[in-house]
Structure 1
């Protein structure tokens, strides 16, 4: 009977993680457009600086969320083999995310066509800030769903 209860608990845990991941998509960090709007009161050069600050802040938030996820996994009330697997998969997903962010933001920047200087960089910075924010939120949500020892 204990196995059935454990299975049910794991099933509910999985469903909870899936729901959190889905809700993260729906309740994401500020969008590219929203970030641009937040900085639009400035001149183009100042807008670039504002978005550079937001990209930097989003990177710091992403780093903190990643560290918190590793800490939560370390304290996770689960067999060590699953903890190790989750940490390995987190490291892999972080590497893939960084490559995805570079490629996606490069693609969006290329849509600027013949625009020059700040215009292209503004788009890239807004993209970086948006994707970092979304990823940080995903990591925080996943970590908060883990039950500690």
Structure 2
């Protein structure tokens, strides 16, 4: 890994390690994606910083969409893992209900948190505030995917 200093057109300066993107996970679902494949906020900005100023928002929007799709896959994988869980049906169903409630609450929290992150851009003009929001979405989705995977991968299967 190399240390990289990136200053994007939005005025952010980021010094961090390059985020390494993993290969597709072999989870039985052909389109399944794991958290290692999703960039962090800084990684997203670094990767999209290679684009022109006009292309950067589009790149972050694409990454945000991909991370949302990956999150939906992770939620489906968690439901599948719960369905195979070696536990009484009433506990399996209870856990599935709690996962659905958690997913709804997570979306509300993520949107509020990313609105806050965007507001930290202050009086920035143009797409800078939206780029802050999109990179926040990418990072938060990556962390949620990782948490879902960690929780559901420990369940003993029937």
TM-score, length-scaled by structure 1: 0.77
Higher relative contact order (CA 8 A, sep 6+): 1
Aligned to 2:125: 116
Aligned to 2:21: none
Q: Shift in Å at residue 97 of structure 1?
A: 0.3
Aligned to 2:88: 79
Unaligned 5+ runs, structure 1: 1-26
Aligned to 1:43: 52
Higher normalized helix content (fraction of residues): 1
Looking at structure 2, the residues matched to 50 and 28 of structure 1 have their Cα atoms a distance apart, in angstroms, of 16
Looking at structure 2, the residues matched to 85 and 28 of structure 1 have their Cα atoms a distance apart, in angstroms, of 30
Q: Shift in Å at residue 28 of structure 1?
A: 10
Secondary structure of 1:43's counterpart equals coil
Higher normalized strand content (fraction of residues): 2
Looking at structure 2, the residues matched to 94 and 78 of structure 1 have their Cα atoms a distance apart, in angstroms, of 22
Given that 1:36 and 1:51 are in contact with CA atoms closer than 8 Å, whether structure 2 keeps it comes out as: yes
Aligned to 1:12: none
Q: Does 1:56 align with 2:65?
A: yes
Q: Structure 1 pair 54/28, CA: closer, same or farther in 2 (3 Å)?
A: closer
Aligned to 2:30: none
Secondary structure of 2:86's counterpart equals coil
The structure whose Rg is larger is: 1
Q: Does 1:145 align with 2:154?
A: yes
Aligned length: 123
Q: Does 1:129 align with 2:138?
A: yes
Q: What stretches of structure 1 move > 2 A for 4+ residues in a row? A: 27-31
Looking at structure 2, the residues matched to 88 and 52 of structure 1 have their Cα atoms a distance apart, in angstroms, of 31
Aligned to 1:3: none
RMSD: 1.6
TM-score, length-scaled by structure 2: 0.73
